[in-house]
């Protein structure tokens, strides 16, 4: 890839507007281009692939979220050379360009019954260590932003690494892998079960419910199935 061939998508991206919504809802996408494929939608931005050069992913931000684009760019620039994250290539006024990483998210691994090897967990741990060494805070790491890629782990979405505090999402996920995943490893899980687990997790209050109680509740969901 040439150093600036990603700029070929500029015209196609100009046809698209990303609108931020209230209440932490996903953004709304307006406009269209036959050359663009949307591969992801978040609360601040949407991610597109420009079909003529699919090696790149373009994260196009809502106007209200452009400050987050600047923060995320700085994170990627600090992580240059780390194999556990996408490669940062550059940016335009409303978008940022990173490598289009192939693979399957851990969330989809559970849906499809794809085994998640221990190496993926180890890679995420190594990625988190690298992030901390750069003075950043590795948070918001969950099933949908970890890729299984050729037997290894790749971490997506570094947008919260400039924030403080430990959301404990990775620690809880690691605990579930060690203590709970062996019960259904390699089995396809219904999306209704995964969404029920997610909603229960969002309501988890560490002050009155520990992880063992949470796991006991989730086991009941599986046994009913």
Same domain, 136 and 92: no
Boundary of a domain, candidates 99, 133, 158: 99
Dist. CA 115–CA 186, nearest whole Å: 5
Same domain, 109 and 75: no
CB distance 206 to 166 below 8 Å: no
Q: What is the reported pLDDT for 1?
A: 58
Spatial CA neighbour of 194 closest among 112, 119, 101, 97: 112
Average pLDDT over residues 34-44: 94
Boundary of a domain, candidates 78, 99, 120: 99
The predicted-structure confidence for 76-94, as pLDDT tens digits, reads as follows 999 999 999 999 999 999 9
Dist. CA 60–CA 2, nearest whole Å: 21
Pair of tokens at residue 98: 């990173």
- pLDDT above 90 (res 7): yes
Q: What is the reported pLDDT for 217?
A: 62
CATH of the domain at 53: 3.30.200.20
Same domain, 63 and 122: no
Same domain, 75 and 130: no
Same domain, 94 and 15: yes
Average pLDDT over residues 53-73: 95
Same domain, 153 and 194: yes
Dist. CA 133–CA 73, nearest whole Å: 18
The predicted-structure confidence for 99-126, as pLDDT tens digits, reads as follows 999 999 999 999 999 999 999 999 999 9
- Alpha helices by DSSP H, listed for 79-139, are 106-112, 118-133
Same domain, 54 and 123: no
Q: What is the reported pLDDT for 45?
A: 95
- Domain span holding position 27: 5-99
Q: What is the reported pLDDT for 223?
A: 55
Spatial CA neighbour of 89 closest among 101, 103, 77: 77
Q: What percent of the chain has pLDDT over 90?
A: 72
Same domain, 80 and 12: yes
CATH of the domain at 218: 1.10.510
Boundary of a domain, candidates 99, 118, 151: 99
Pair of tokens at residue 72: 């995320």
Average pLDDT over residues 39-53: 95
Q: What is the reported pLDDT for 215?
A: 63
pTM: 0.85
Same domain, 170 and 80: no
The predicted-structure confidence for 196-216, as pLDDT tens digits, reads as follows 777 777 666 654 556 666 666
Domains: count for the chain = 2
| DSSP 3-state of 156 | coil
């Amino acid at each position: 890839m040439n150093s600036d061939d990603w700029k070929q998508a500029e015209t196609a991206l100009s046809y698209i507007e990303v609108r931020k919504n209230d209440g932490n809802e996903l953004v709304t996408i307006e406009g269209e281009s036959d050359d663009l494929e949307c591969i992801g939608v978040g609360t601040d931005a949407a991610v597109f692939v420009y079909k003529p050069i699919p090696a790149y992913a373009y994260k196009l931000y809502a106007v209200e979220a452009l400050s987050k684009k600047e923060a995320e760019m700085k994170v990627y620039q600090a992580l240059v050379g780390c194999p556990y994250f996408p490669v940062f290539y550059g940016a335009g006024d409303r978008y940022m360009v990173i490598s289009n990483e192939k693979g399957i998210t851990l969330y989809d691994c559970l849906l499809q019954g794809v085994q998640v090897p221990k190496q993926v967990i180890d890679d995420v741990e190594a990625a988190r260590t690298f992030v901390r060494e750069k003075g950043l805070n590795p948070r918001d790491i969950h099933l949908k932003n970890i890729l299984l890629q050729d037997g290894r782990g790749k971490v997506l979405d570094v947008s919260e690494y400039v924030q403080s505090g430990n959301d404990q999402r990775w620690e809880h996920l690691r605990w579930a892998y060690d203590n709970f995943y062996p019960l259904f490893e390699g089995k396809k899980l219904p999306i209704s079960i995964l969404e029920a687990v997610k909603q229960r997790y969002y309501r988890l209050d560490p002050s009155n419910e520990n992880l063992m109680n949470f796991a006991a509740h989730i086991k009941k969901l599986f046994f009913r199935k």
